[in-house]
Amino acid sequence: MDLKLKNILPMFVSLLLVSTSNAQSGVYDVTSANYGGKANSDITQALSKAWTDACASTSASKIVVPSGTYKFVGATFKGPCKAPIEFQLQGTLQAPEDGSQLPKADTWIGFERIDGLTLSGGGTFDGLGATAWKQNDCNKNKNCKSIAINLRFNFVTNSIIRDITTKDSKNFHVNLLGCNNVAFQHFTVSAPQESINTDGIHIGRSTGINITDTTIGTGDDCISIGDGTKQLHVTNVTCGPGHGISIGSLGKYENEEPVSGIFIKNCTISNTDNGVRIKTWPASPANGVVSDVHFEDIIMDNVKNPVIIDQEYCPHNQCTLQVPSKVKISNVSFKNIKGSSSTPVGIKLVCSGGLPCENVELSNIDLTYTGKEGSITSECKHIKPTINNVAQPLACATS
Catalytic machinery residues: 243
Q: Helix, strand, or coil here: 205? A: coil
Using an 8 Å Cβ cutoff, are 282 and 319 in contact? Answer: yes
* Residue 165 to residue 190: CA distance in whole angstroms: 7
**Exposed/middle/buried for 174, CB within 10 Å: 0-12, 13-18, 19+?**
buried
Q: Which residues of 371-397 are buried (b: 16+ CB within 10 A; e: fewer)?
A: eeeeebbbbbbbbebeeeebeebbbbe
Please, what is the Cα angle at 175 between 92 and 263, to 5 degrees? 115
Total residues found in the chain within this entry: 399
Question: How far is it between the farthest Cα atoms of the chain?
Answer: 99
Cross-strand pairs, 64: 29, 88
Residues 6+ away with beta carbon under 8 Å from 370: 340
Q: How far apart are CA 16 and CA 124, in angstroms?
A: 35
Contact 370/390 with Cβ under 8 angstroms? no
Neighbours of 51 (CB within 10 A): 23
Taking the C-alpha atoms of residue 328 and residue 334, their distance in angstroms, rounded to an integer, is 17
Measured torsion, CA atoms of residues 139, 140, 145, 150, in degrees rounded to the nearest 10 = -10
The neighbour count for residue 177, using CB atoms within 10 Å, is 17
